[in-house]
């Protein structure tokens, strides 16, 4: 696994390099924002550790520019205590996590592992207003209330959220969720739609999931 560290304080940079190399990561260093961005774009890394305060180009700008290139590499910000609140808003600019100085090395390792994990499995979260569905942990929340769903309920909701805003035909749902690939008449969908709406507490007036008579269903933002 290759990690790029963009950090101007050589003390911290070398400490990180050494520590990460001991964990058998391949590490490359860069000391300023502009150069770091260039290296990041022209090479492949599995993860980038990015200091917030950098000469020539700030960490935030590096992150924004990098994402503009449509690069998905996870980015973890390294930030001083007093700029934490800025950083949190910075997460919206496309970073994946942040850690504040001074940090515990074990904690950093843990965060790196968390970011690299998705490479070996998917880590997808789908949302619909206040409903969120996490494929990898198999959890569903409405607000901060966790909702217990069974497998089929979960699969059905996942299908609808993956196609949020699109009309989902019954035939397609049956194919994807139930893996029935031939003409077949059943009302399982209705039954599971019903229990989904019950568990998620969706009244018909709030049309999170609308019925389209004769066709199927659609999950919709307002």
Partner DNA sequence: TCATAGTTTCAAAATCCTTTTAGCTTGCAG
Partner DNA sequence: CTGCAAGCTAAAAGGATTTTGAAACTATGA
Q: Which residues bind a copy of itself (CB under 8 A)?
A: 11, 14-15, 18, 81, 84-85, 88, 91, 97, 100, 102-104, 106-107, 110-111, 114, 117, 137-139, 150-151, 166-167, 169, 212-215
Q: Does 81 bind DNA (CB under 7 A)?
A: no
138 binds, among a copy of itself, DNA, none (CB under 5 to 8 A by kind): a copy of itself
Q: DSSP label at 82?
A: G
User: How many C-beta atoms surround the C-beta of residue 90 within 10 A?
Assistant: 23
Tokens representing residue 159 in the block: 């299908």
Residue 211 contact partner, candidates a copy of itself, DNA, none, CB within 5 to 8 A by sort of partner: DNA
100 strand-pairing partners: 79
Residues 200, 76: Cα–Cα separation, whole Å: 34
* Backbone dihedral angles phi then psi of residue 203, each to the nearest 5 degrees: -75, 160
Residue 220 beta carbon to DNA: minimum distance, rounded to whole angstroms: 14
d(CA 119, CA 66): 19
Say whether residue 167 binds DNA (CB under 7 A): no
Name the residue nearer to DNA (CB basis): 23 or 190.
Answer: 190
Tokens of 154: 């979960």
Q: Give me the least distance between CB of 149 and DNA, in Å please.
A: 8
**Binder of residue 178, out of a copy of itself, DNA, none (CB less than 5 to 8 A by kind):** DNA
Strand partners, 209: 219
């Amino acid at each position: 696994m290759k990690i790029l560290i963009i950090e101007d304080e050589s003390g911290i940079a070398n400490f990180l390099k050494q520590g990460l190399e001991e964990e058998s990561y391949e590490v490359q260093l860069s000391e300023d924002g502009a150069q770091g961005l260039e290296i990041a774009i022209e090479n492949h890394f599995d993860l980038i550790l990015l200091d917030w305060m950098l000469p020539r180009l700030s960490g935030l700008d590096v992150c924004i520019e990098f994402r503009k290139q449509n690069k998905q590499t996870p980015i973890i910000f390294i930030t001083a205590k007093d700029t934490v609140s800025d950083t949190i808003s910075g997460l919206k600019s496309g970073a994946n996590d942040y850690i504040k100085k001074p940090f515990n090395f074990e904690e950093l390792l843990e965060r790196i592992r968390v970011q690299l994990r998705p490479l070996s499995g998917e880590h997808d979260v789908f949302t619909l207003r206040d409903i969120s569905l996490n494929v990898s942990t198999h959890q569903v929340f409405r607000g901060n209330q966790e909702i217990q769903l069974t497998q089929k309920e979960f699969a059905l909701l996942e299908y609808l959220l993956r196609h949020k805003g699109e009309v989902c035909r019954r035939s397609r749902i049956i194919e994807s969720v139930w893996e029935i690939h031939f003409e077949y008449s059943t009302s399982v969908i209705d039954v599971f739609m019903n229990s989904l709406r019950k568990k998620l507490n969706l009244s018909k007036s709030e049309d999170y999931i609308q019925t389209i008579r004769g066709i199927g269903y659609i999950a919709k933002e307002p």
